[in-house]
Structure 1
Amino acid sequence: MNEVVHWYAVSTVLLFVKMFAISLFQGYHRIGKRTFKTPEDAALVGRQAAAEELPQVQRAANAWRNDLENIPIFLALGVVYVWVEASPILAPWLFLLFTAARYLHTIFYLSALQPWRTVAYGVGIVSLLVMCALIVAALF
């Protein structure tokens, strides 16, 4: 297997695991506190539906939405990066840097740590911009 494809696949799986972990985090807090906003879920544990989500669940939902704004862009750029055979030497570094930045962004978001959340976000964006530049360079 091509090494660039290998690292793209590793990053993709790690990003899936991270996003799945956010879902588990939400479930842990909802089930642990038996607090559900959805009436049928609340009824399942013999409770009334909550007026709003728990703060931890809200934070996780915000982190999830941020992932949905960034991870699909990485996945698309990663495929193009592989197709145009952009820098194979930098690929593992860029793919893993983006992935690490997303992990840290989520940890910092759930922990309410600023400015670290923004720094992690910025590192991920810089990774994407460098990928873009290398893709363009490979095309010309």
Structure 2
Amino acid sequence: MAGVFDSEVFFAFSTYATIVILKMMLMAPLTAYFRITRKAFANMEDIRPGNTPEEKKKMLRSHEDVERVRRCHQNDLENIIPFVVVGLLYALTGPDLSSALLHFRLFVGSRCIHTLAYVMSLPQPSRGLSWMVGMVTTFSMAYRVLTSALLL
């Protein structure tokens, strides 16, 4: 098993998985940025002291920009976690490096485009197509994992 973890495919998977995990993690500070700049907080204690009770009540609200970033983050959670799990299993099946790189790069690219399309409110089908590319890529890797397991 040590040979698998030393392979170029596993190194590539580790690199691309780390990129999308970091991208997903950066969505939380981006949400905070939008909350602060839009003065739209979810909890009373998040509003800095010094504001009057009336001002605090006005800031305890939702804002379309904040909600858009939150939905994008939720979508990352729904797609990146399966990619990491399936991608690891896929890497363990010993695919060709070129095939693995294609899968990993397609997924990472699709998630980056998806985030830009979501946060910048780009017109559809940009967000939908980028989501679909990522989903198909993950399903393709899952298919390889299942067919490899069934052939054992």
- Taking structure 2 as the reference length, what is the TM-score of the superposition? 0.82
Moved more, 28-37 or 124-133: 28-37
Query: Size of the alignment, in residue pairs?
Result: 140
Counterparts of 1:3-82 in structure 2 under 5 Å? 3-44=8-49, 46=51, 47-49=55-57, 50-82=59-91
Gapped runs of 5+ residues in structure 1?
none
Partner amino acid for 1:124?
G
Give the 3-state SS of the residue equivalent to 1:37 in structure 2.
coil
Assess if the C-alpha contact under 8 Å between 2:41 and 2:47 holds in 1.
yes
Structure 1 runs (4+) deviating above 6 angstroms are: none
Choose the corresponding residue for 2:130, options 120, 124, 134: 120
Gapped runs of 5+ residues in structure 2?
1-5
Q: Corresponding residue for 1:95?
A: 104
Moved more, 96-105 or 41-50: 41-50
**Taking structure 1 as reference, are residues 18 and 45 closer, same or farther at Cα in structure 2, changes over 3 Å only?**
farther
Give the CA deviation at 1:31: 2.0
In the aligned structure 1, how far is the partner of 2:93 from the partner of 2:21?
24
- Taking structure 1 as the reference length, what is the TM-score of the superposition? 0.88
Deviations 1:106-138 (A, max 9, x none): 111112221100000010011112112222333
In the aligned structure 2, how far is the partner of 1:106 from the partner of 1:80?
25
Assess if the C-alpha contact under 8 Å between 2:111 and 2:131 holds in 1.
yes
Give the CA deviation at 1:71: 1.0
